[in-house]
Amino acid sequence: MDAINVGHNLVDFAWPRHYGRGPTSVGPWTGVDAAVLSGYHSPSGELIFGVLQKGFAMSSQDLTQIAREIVTGYSTANWTALKGLFTPATIYNELGSQRRIQGPDAIIQTLQGWKKAMTDSQGKVISAIASGDTVAMQITWTGTHDGTFTGPTGTVPATGKRQTTPAAMIVKFSDNKVSEIHHYFDMLTLLQQIGAMPAISARM
């Protein structure tokens, strides 16, 4: 018998020593088809990774990890992996720019626009907490404005200036996929840092 950690509960199941389909017994869920599972095997045939794709609730820790992968996917420009986290109708609500985008392709296109404007931009998750089907993350975004930026004030040519912008991201899940992203950040501060808007003088 092979073993797999699903939702951090170790269960045994009969898994054929090759890719493909076959009858499976997963803990109390006897007779589950192997197609429900996705797995990768080492050359020796040992199952090294498996994930329940649908029908079984993930733990808070699992959902938090998936939410973190949104930031990782953007930072590494791994658009294929990032798109794979979304449902066909995922909503991206970018509060900083007042944009609401729906659908994986449109969301990826929007995020690619940020990446083109700041090719070295990346996010660091400072903290993350999950409750039910929702994960909240505190993020710090950094990057150099080395490409054309299109935002609420129009198009801004590259200035070569660095920006560091704190943000919060609320991620909601449905069937273990990302169904909603609500992204909060201070657009005014970001624009001032890259020279797209004059800084506001402090008042006494």
Tokens standing for residue 136? 């909240």
Check pLDDT > 80 for residue 10.
Answer: no
Mean pLDDT within 125-135: 97
Alpha carbon separation from 183 to 154, 172, 173, 188 (Å, rounded): 20, 12, 15, 15
Q: Which of 11-15, 106-110, 187-191 has the highest mean pLDDT?
A: 106-110
Provide the pLDDT for residue 150.
84
CATH 3.10.450.50 fits 60-193, yes or no: yes
pLDDT tens digits for 140-179? 999 999 999 887 668 889 999 999 999 999 999 999 999 9
| Domain definitions of the chain by residue range | 2-52, 60-193
The pair phi, psi for residue 35, each rounded to 5°, is -65, -20
Provide the pLDDT for residue 34.
37
Residue 183 to residue 166: CA distance in whole angstroms: 11
Residue 92 to residue 99: CA distance in whole angstroms: 8
Provide the pLDDT for residue 200.
58
- By three-state DSSP, how is residue 77 classified? coil
Task: Indicate whether this model's pTM tops 0.95.
Answer: no
- By three-state DSSP, how is residue 79 classified? helix
Residue 195 to residue 49: CA distance in whole angstroms: 46
